[in-house]
Structure 1
C-alpha cells in the first residue's frame, strides 16, 4: 500500500471510530432485578408476566434512556448478592436506601418516600407499640428486610417471626398466628384497603420513619463500580417526574403520591 493509500485508510478508521463508540454508548441494554412477590410494587400477573409499580417505573426509565431492558425475578434474601454477581444490572424492587446496604451497592436518588407501619387485626385494642408494650407479643416481618432489622434490634422481648415473603407474613396475620406485623406503609395501606384478605386488618400506631431503619427513601441499586449507570438512571428519573410520566404510573396504583406521601 503506498503512502497516500495508507493515509486515506488511517483517516477513514479515525473517522469511523467515534461513530462506533457513540453507537455502542447509545445501545444501552439493561437487566432489571425485582422480587415479583411484593404487590402492588412487583408481582406476577395471572399470565406469568412481571408487573407492578416498580416494573412500570423501570419500563418508563428504559424508554427515556432508549435502553433495551429485560426483567429478572429474584428472591428478596438474595437480591443484592445476585446484583453483585452480575445476574442483572440494577435492582428496582422498592428497596430502602440504608447505610448498611450502601456498603454493598450504590443507590440512585429516591423514587419513593419511605415509612414503615404496624398492622394489627381490626378488633385489636393495641395502641401502644413501644418495645415494652409489645413484650411477649408475636410480631411478623419479611426476612432480610429493614422491618426485620427494626424488630430484631428494638423488640428483643417480643416473639419476632421472619418470613421469606410479605405474602407469607400477611397470611399468618390473617390466620391469627401473629399479634401484629411491621411492613412498608404503602403496600400495607394498599393491602388493608384494597384486598379481601387484608380487610381483616388495619394500620396502627404512628408511621415509623427512623432513618436508622428506613434510610433516605427508596432507591434503585447498582453495583458500586457502575456510577455512570446510576447517573443515567437519576437523569431519566428526573425527566419522568418532570414530564408527568411518574405521576401517571403512580396514580394507577396509589391514591397518594408515594414520592411525597401526600
Structure 2
C-alpha cells in the first residue's frame, strides 16, 4: 500500500490524516502492541488477539508523559537541504508493528515512524511516498533501489552501517522495571533490590543486565513476558524487568487491571539494549541521510516530535 505525503511544495497530493527487535521481532510482540496503537490512533477496537487497551475515554495526562530527547543541542549546524532528484523520495516501511508502523483504518501506512516521516518531509519541503512491504524484505528492497529510505524498526548495528547509511537514532527501547502499586516497594537500585525477586526472561539481555548491575536481586526466570507480568500481578515476584515499550502497554491496558506501574528510571545501555532505530539510506545517498538527520533535529526543536509521541504513546516507555 503506497501513500503520498503532502508537503508545502505540492499540497495537492493526498496524505493520510523489541525482546529482540528488527528482523527477529517476534510476531507475538507485534500483536501485543496493537491495542495501544489502535487506542492511541483512535482506530476503533483492537484485534481479537491483541491485549485490550485502556478505555478510549482515558486520555493521556500530557503533563506526566515523559517524552524522550535523543538530540544534542550542541550538534545543531546550518540547515541541510535535501538533494533535488526530480522525483518523490520513496520511503519503505512495514505495516504490522504498531505503534511504530502499521496499517491505519483507511488501509494506508501510519504510526509514529510514518507520521514522523511526514513531518521530516514537511521540514525538507520535498514530496515523499510511503510504501508498506514485508519487514524482512525492506533492506534488500532498499539495496535494489526499489526505495530510497527505510523507515521501520530495524536496529542500528555495526553490521547495518557496514552496508547502509543511517541517521542518528530517533527512538530507542529502554529497559524498565514495573511493580504492583499497592506494596510500597522502593525505587529499584543495587541496594534496594537486595533480596527482592525480579521476574525476567531467562537468557535475555535484560537478565544479563540484572546480573551485572543488580547482583543481589533474586532473579525469577520465566519463559515469556506474559509470565513475568503475571508473576508480578499475582504477587509471586516483586518486580518485572523487561522492554519498556511492552511494559508500558501492559500497565496501561485492561489485563493489568490497574495493578501495576512502571517504577524507577529507564535503562538505555547500548551494549545490552541496542542503539535504537534511525532512517536508513544507501551509502551513496549520504547527502540525503544528512538532510534527514537535520530535519529530525528540527522536528524535535519545533515540538512536532513531542506531539506525535503523545499521540502514539499514551503511556510512555520512558
Q: What TM-score do the two structures reach when normalised by structure 1? A: 0.58
CA distance in 1, matches of 2:195, 2:207: 11
What are the superposed Cα offsets for residues 223-260 of structure 1, whole Å, 9 maximum, x if unpaired? Answer: 445423322322332343344433432342357999xx
How far off is 1:207 after superposition? 1.9
CA distance in 2, matches of 1:248, 1:177: 32
More strand by share: 1
How far off is 1:56 after superposition? 0.9
Do the aligned partners of 2:102 and 2:110 also contact (CA within 8 Å) in 1? yes
What are the superposed Cα offsets for residues 130-182 of structure 1, whole Å, 9 maximum, x if unpaired? Answer: 6x9699965249x9xxxx444357659763646xxxxxx4x445554995341
Partner of residue 71, structure 1 = 132
CA distance in 2, matches of 1:91, 1:135: 43
2:243 to 183, 204, 208: 183
Aligned pair in 2 of structure 1 residues 137, 252: CA closer, same or farther (>3 Å)?
closer
Aligned pair in 2 of structure 1 residues 100, 52: CA closer, same or farther (>3 Å)?
same
Matched, 1:197 2:255: yes
Matched, 1:83 2:141: no
Matches within 5 A, 1:4-23: none
Q: Secondary structure at the match of 2:152?
A: strand
CA distance in 2, matches of 1:248, 1:136: 37
Matched, 1:37 2:97: yes
How far off is 1:126 after superposition? 6.8
Aligned pair in 2 of structure 1 residues 229, 135: CA closer, same or farther (>3 Å)?
farther
Matches within 5 A, 1:232-251: 232-251=291-310
Aligned pair in 2 of structure 1 residues 55, 139: CA closer, same or farther (>3 Å)?
same
Aligned pair in 2 of structure 1 residues 122, 89: CA closer, same or farther (>3 Å)?
farther
Q: Secondary structure at the match of 2:168?
A: coil
1:28 to 88, 108, 111: 88
Q: Secondary structure at the match of 1:65?
A: coil
How far off is 1:25 after superposition? 0.7
How far off is 1:32 after superposition? 2.0
Do the aligned partners of 1:120 and 1:201 also contact (CA within 8 Å) in 2? yes
Q: Secondary structure at the match of 2:141?
A: coil
Matched, 1:111 2:167: no
Question: How many equivalent pairs are there?
Answer: 215
Kindly report the root-mean-square deviation, in angstroms, between the aligned alpha carbons of the 2 structures: 4.4
What are the superposed Cα offsets for residues 189-216 of structure 1, whole Å, 9 maximum, x if unpaired? Answer: 35523x3234343223442122323455
Which of structures 1 and 2 has the bigger CA Rg? 1
Do the aligned partners of 1:83 and 1:223 also contact (CA within 8 Å) in 2? no
The answer for unaligned runs of 5 or more in structure 2 is 1-82, 213-218
Q: Secondary structure at the match of 1:111?
A: coil
How far off is 1:55 after superposition? 1.8
Q: What TM-score do the two structures reach when normalised by structure 2? A: 0.50
The answer for unaligned runs of 5 or more in structure 1 is 1-22, 163-168
Q: Secondary structure at the match of 1:212?
A: helix
